Every structure is written in structure tokens, then in C-alpha cells.
Structure 1
């Protein structure tokens, strides 16, 4: 019995030794990771989808715009890059607010909106704050904040709603200058050099002084500005430091009071033409030899000067000086909350506003001043990039102004403020009311039209 127990015990010991050696051998097949080189986990079975190429996108988009010259060209540029997409453009001019009313009605109705809609500077702030209007592209799945690092900051800010959400993007930057007729400047002021003209227009006092000199040298024929509203653009778009409305309260910046004074002096002494902007006489004066200066933002070279002074559109008769930084205009595009194809709509908006290759091609083809710092830098250093209307590199001229534009001046009330202010200004310039009455009437008009604002 003892022998049998001994044999059993020996067998158990041998079995245990075998099992230990077996496990030791298996473990030796997988070496431990070296220090500083942690063992990698096994790869996941899921693979991130490949990024879509332009030709991978298919379908149709509807795009609302208010400009028959710009809207179709934007769509064409996108369809050239995205050959399997069709963009249906619908143009509604904003004459008598037709475009704005169309968009507002569709938003309120909750139906009938396009996939993408454009908004002009005058009303973009109102549109981005309309409930049910633009999609919030700061949020997923768009993450627009990741795509705008090369865009001019003020244009990005204007496309945000009051809560800071990005709703629309722009492909343009619109800093402004003073466009003037070289022949008139040389004849009456002794120079047509943009730097010298800028110095002559750099302060209110110098503006009046230069206007008087022009009048005297021309024996009363020449006017420095076509009208006071051109000066308004400079003051409201750059001279101010405060917006019209802040914390729901009307603010009249001291610079606007200064504008009232200079406008009155210019009108009283016959130093400007007294012509209201965007009227037929205002457009006709662009080609004459009487009115020397207009407020010309970047887009104005083409759409103010060249189209109205066709004889000299390629002759370099005009030039642009930049005495005071300001900006005017611009167009934004955003995705409608009612869109049924938001992925494709986002691709369209992103292409228009952030695609460097497209923006450079757009700048070269149209002369537009695009909203991309790298393209701006490339073109302002390109000595061959000369605009024939002004015989200047417009990116070199306007480029330094971009950084000085304050996008926080823009509010959703600006268009209404402009109309009210300028309507009362005509009464004041006609001598029917004094300055105090002007200000009081303006406040009363704002209080009547915008009862939710605090007016003191």
C-alpha cells in the first residue's frame, strides 16, 4: 500500500512539473514590452471612411441670391469643381426689400426655403438672428470653426448670431478707400499720387481744406465729393468706435456728430454735389469731370466705377487712396434650417468661403477682394496683378485696411438706422431744422420704428 501511494505521489509530482513547463513554454512565445514602448492594442475592426472627393458628391441644391451677376457665377464655379452636382440659382433683386421679404416670409412659414441663401451686409445680422433661418454651423456635424482660420476675422464675426454661433460665411472682405479721378486731382490739386491725396483727406479739417482748394482752383466748377452720403460710408464704417446699438440701447457715436458738422459745412459752401447715392444722377456723375471723389470699397471699382465710366474702365483714369480705414458691403452664405440636403449645402458654403484655390481663381477672374489671408498676401506681392481701372494692385492698396476693420460695429439694426439718419439729414442740410432738432428727430424715429430699444 505504501508503495502504491508512493507511486501515485511520484506520478502527481511529475504531472505538476510537466504542466509548469508547458505554461512556461507558452509564455515565452510572447515577450514583455520594453520599457517606454507599451504594448500596442490589437487594431480595431472599424476603419474611418475615406474623405469624399468633389466628384463623389451628387445631387441638386437650391441657392437664393439677390445679385444676378454674382449668384450664377458662384454656382458655376462650384459645379466646375463638383461635376456631379447641380446648383439651381434663384435670383430676387432686393429692390424695395423684395429679397428680404421673400426670405422672411419663407422662414416664418416654415417651408419654401432653399438649401443655401445669401445675405448682404445691410441685413446679414438680422438674418443670422432670425429663429428658423440659418443652420448653426459652429455645431456638429459642420464644425465651421475649424475651417475659418485663414478668413479675415471681422467677416467671421459678422456671420455670427448674438450668442456667438456661426451662421454664415463670406468669401469677400470689403475694406474701403476713396476713389478719385486722376485727371481732376492733377489739374486742380497738383498731384494724382494716392499717398498725397490720402494725406489731403486724412482728417475732417483737411477734407474741408482740400474741398475749398479744389473749388477755388476750378473757379467753382469742381466738387470734392459727389454727395455727403459718400462721407457717411466712411464715418459709419470706420470712424466710429461704437455700434448703433449696444446692450439694447441706442448709441450715437461722437464721430457721427462730427459727420453732421462736416456734411453741413460741405453743403453750405458748395463743396459737394448734393447728389443722393444710388440715384441715376449719382451714377452719371461717375463719368463726368465735375465730381472728383466717391467712397469706393473693394467691390466698388467694378460695380461703381467701371460699369458707370465704361470709356475709362480700362484706362487707369481712376485711383484709390486710403486716408481712413472703413468698410462697406459684402455677401455671406449660410445653410437653411429647412434644407433637405445639408451635407451638400455645407460643402457649397465651405467651398465658396474657405477653399483657397477657388478664392484665388475667383480673385483673378472677377477682381473681387477675397476673404483669405494667404491669397491676399500672394496677390498683394504680385507686381503683375494690376487693376486697369485704377492702374493699381488693389490687394496692395486695400490689404493694410483689412486688419483695421472693426466687425463689432455691425448690428441687425444698421440698415434701418442708415435710412432714418439720412432721411432726416436731408431736412437738416436743407436748413429746415438745426442740429439739436436733427438729433431729437432721429431719436424719435428710432423709438417709433424700434420700440424695444432703449432711447435716451
Structure 2
């Protein structure tokens, strides 16, 4: 699932890149205005997206066809397999060759696109259409599609993270139910670990930050960390939840054999997005992953008894069990587009029409992004996929907030994690303060 892989890859945008974007982007008000489509004039808009797999392309084309049938005077020119870099360059340049509507797999783009005003603020469109975004979209998904009040994008399907576990391995270890708290999780991870020589026959869980999907920001989703305060300053040094996460991860690394031993074992893993994924091969008994894995396991045809559950939470937050980290696809309108009336009708259809959202989610096995779609009887969800639907509905689920310099602050958290888990950094509080200072400086430089 290459398109899904691109969406889940952490965006490490530097402050200098963000500054370049802002300096060259259109920073004025929307030039769209009325394009005549509302009065029945024929209008053709261009839509860029990044999906490439056959089922994904067919699904988006089916929604385009449904939209054109409902709006016979609006025609959509679809261009697929577009990378974020190419979209960014086109949005910065503007002109007749730029797209009118763009989707992106990277929610980290929102902050810089909103602040640079290369995507139009959709608040006026939402208000005119009588759409209350807070009532329409999942809370976490809505949060990652806006920046400082500018709703320059909307969610278009989402991803939710949870726990995958090997049922046969659980039974062999005498574990009767998935863990709900980190103390239970740690104990289970140890029970499920089977040593072999100087390595492992089976590892209970791979906690290292170089592991698949185990990034600090995603772990912090289980803690409910805030990342920034109301003034936009980093809170990682002042929020005790951040220190608690790094401490928990470091301790679990030690319980499972230590950083070096785990890293050596990690090098034996196959490709994450193949049947050689270590959870699918049985090399690890528990995995932190997203809803896409449910379909991957089915497609890979591996012999595996497995199930899903929400990922555990800190013991002192046991009442929040069921929460999870969320991200997903976003869609917006180019600020330079002169066909924004038609473009909005298309965006509104893709993001708020329940049948369109549910049909798309069913086709590409992602989590729906509207509350109505999450509760639709047409949504195809077996017990394992339903875990992620419930995570998306959970009011405690969270995401990483938008930043003017994209995912640079997440990269700082990742680099800090590498230093802590490997032992290169032993003073956690000092490291958190230094990293918070680094994040604040990068944000200030990007403004």
C-alpha cells in the first residue's frame, strides 16, 4: 500500500523550507470568487491526488463520477500519483497549470499551507453551506486539518493506531485478554518474549523508536500530550506526560533485553509493507499499527491467528483506555484557483456526503472522517476493523497539532528519543528543556 505508506511517513520539514514556502507563496486573499457554476455554467476543475493502487484509484474515480452525475455542469479533471513536493511547487507557483483541489497524505503540511495561505480558508464556505465542522468531523481529525483558526483543509478519511496481537502466542503464554494499561502491557511483552541464543525466537514487542510506527508523537497520543501551549510555545519540558512517555519506553527497552540487543534483532525484520512484516512472520507477538494492517494481513495470506484492541494507556489514565493516535488524508482548495465555487462543491461532496465517505472508506480500508459515516450501517467493519472505528469515535483520541514548519518538532522529538533509548543522553529533563528550546527557535524562524 504505497499511498498509505506515504501518508504515514513522518514529515521532517525544516524551518528554512517553511520560510522558503512562505516567501514564495501567494499570501493574499482568495482570488476565487464566483465562477458561474452556481448558476449552471459549465466549469472544469483540476483535482490532484496521490493514490496509485488500483482499488484506491477506482474508488476515487467512482466518487468523482458520482459527483459529476449530481453536478452535471461541473467537470473534474483528475490527475493521480502526485507527490506532496509536486503539489507544493505548483501551489507556490500558481497560474493556469496549478490544480484547483489538492489532497495530501501528510497532515504535517497543514500548518505551513494555512499560514502561507496557499490553501484557501474553508470557514466561509462551511458557513455558507450551513456545515458545523465540530459536529460533522471526528474531533482529532478536525484538529489536524486546521491551523490557528484557519480551516484551510478538511479530513478525507483517516488512520487510527491500535494494538495487534498474536492470539496463539497469547494462549501459549497464558494471557487471556489484551492489556489495557502500560504495566499490564510491559508484563505481557516480557511473558511473550522467548530468547534464542543472543537474540530472540519471539519478541513480545519492539519498543525502539527505529521500529515500525513506534514514533514518540504516536506513543504520546496514548498520554494525551499537548505539544504546544496557547501561545504556541513547546510544552514538552513542562508537560509531565512527555517525560513519563520517554521513561516508560526506556524502561521497557531494558526489560526486553536492552537497546543493542533489540536493535540487532530489528535488523532481521523484513519490509514493513509486505508479508515479511515482523508481526505477520511471528517475530513479534504484539505490534503498534494502524487500521490498514487489517487488510494487509488478509491480502498477504499469512497463516496467523490475530486480533486487535486499543493500544494500552498509562496506569494513571486507565479511564482513557480506548483512545488512540489519529492521522489521515487532507484535502483543500488552492488559494490561487479562480474556480473556487465549483471546487468547494467538489470538496464538500468528497468530505461530507455520507455515502461518498463510506464508499471510499470501504474501498480503501481507511477510517471514515465524519461522525455520520463512522456510524453508518453501510460501513463494512468486522471485529478487528471496528477497533479502529471505536478509536476514531473516542473523545480522548488525539493527534499531533499543526505547526508552521510542518513536522519539524516531531523530528526533534524523534531525535531526542534516539539519544535517550541508546544511552547517549542520560539527563532527561535537561534534554527535554534543550529540545523545547530547539523547537521554539525553529518555529520562530519559520514565522
**TM-score w.r.t. length of structure 1:** 0.70
Judging changes above 3 Å, is the alpha-carbon distance between structure 1 residues 113 and 360 closer, same or farther for their aligned structure 2 residues?
A: same
Q: Does the CA contact (< 8 Å) of 2:120 and 2:152 recur in 1? A: yes
Q: 1:361 is matched with which residue?
A: 359
Work out the CA distance in 2 between the residues paired with 1:127 and 1:65: 19
Q: Secondary structure at the match of 1:171?
A: strand
1:434 maps to 2:426: yes
Judging changes above 3 Å, is the alpha-carbon distance between structure 1 residues 216 and 88 closer, same or farther for their aligned structure 2 residues?
A: closer
**Cα offsets for 1:364-413 (capped at 9, x unmatched):** 33332212323322349x8xx454xxxx2523653255232455751225
Q: Does the CA contact (< 8 Å) of 1:222 and 1:292 recur in 2? A: yes
Work out the CA distance in 2 between the residues paired with 1:242 and 1:75: 38
**Cα offsets for 1:306-351 (capped at 9, x unmatched):** 56xx023xx7733111134122321111111112322221122111
1:214: Cα distance to partner?
A: 1.6
Greater shift in the superposed pair: 366-375 or 268-277? 268-277
Q: Does the CA contact (< 8 Å) of 2:324 and 2:398 recur in 1? A: no
Q: 1:63 is matched with which residue?
A: 47
TM alignment of 1:169-248, pairs within 5 A: 169-191=154-176, 196-197=177-178, 200=179, 202-215=180-193, 220-229=200-209, 230=214, 232=216, 234-244=218-228, 246-248=230-232
Task: Find runs of 4+ consecutive structure 1 residues off by over 6 angstroms.
Answer: none
1:190: Cα distance to partner?
A: 3.6
Q: Secondary structure at the match of 1:60?
A: strand
Q: 1:5 is matched with which residue?
A: none
Q: 2:140 is matched with which residue?
A: 154
1:127: Cα distance to partner?
A: 4.0
Judging changes above 3 Å, is the alpha-carbon distance between structure 1 residues 306 and 276 closer, same or farther for their aligned structure 2 residues?
A: farther
Q: 1:31 is matched with which residue?
A: none
Work out the CA distance in 2 between the residues paired with 1:131 and 1:58: 31
* Structure showing greater relative contact order (alpha-carbon pairs closer than 8 Å, 6 or more residues apart): 2
**TM-score w.r.t. length of structure 2:** 0.72
Q: 1:88 is matched with which residue?
A: 78
Q: 1:27 is matched with which residue?
A: none
Q: Does the CA contact (< 8 Å) of 1:224 and 1:271 recur in 2? A: no
Q: Does the CA contact (< 8 Å) of 2:47 and 2:76 recur in 1? A: no
Judging changes above 3 Å, is the alpha-carbon distance between structure 1 residues 144 and 233 closer, same or farther for their aligned structure 2 residues?
A: farther
**Cα offsets for 1:12-32 (capped at 9, x unmatched):** xxxxxxxxxxxxxxxxxxxxx
Judging changes above 3 Å, is the alpha-carbon distance between structure 1 residues 361 and 373 closer, same or farther for their aligned structure 2 residues?
A: same
CA RMSD across the alignment = 3.6
Q: Secondary structure at the match of 2:332?
A: strand
Q: Does the CA contact (< 8 Å) of 1:179 and 1:318 recur in 2? A: yes
Work out the CA distance in 1 between the residues paired with 2:377 and 2:328: 20
Q: 1:320 is matched with which residue?
A: 308
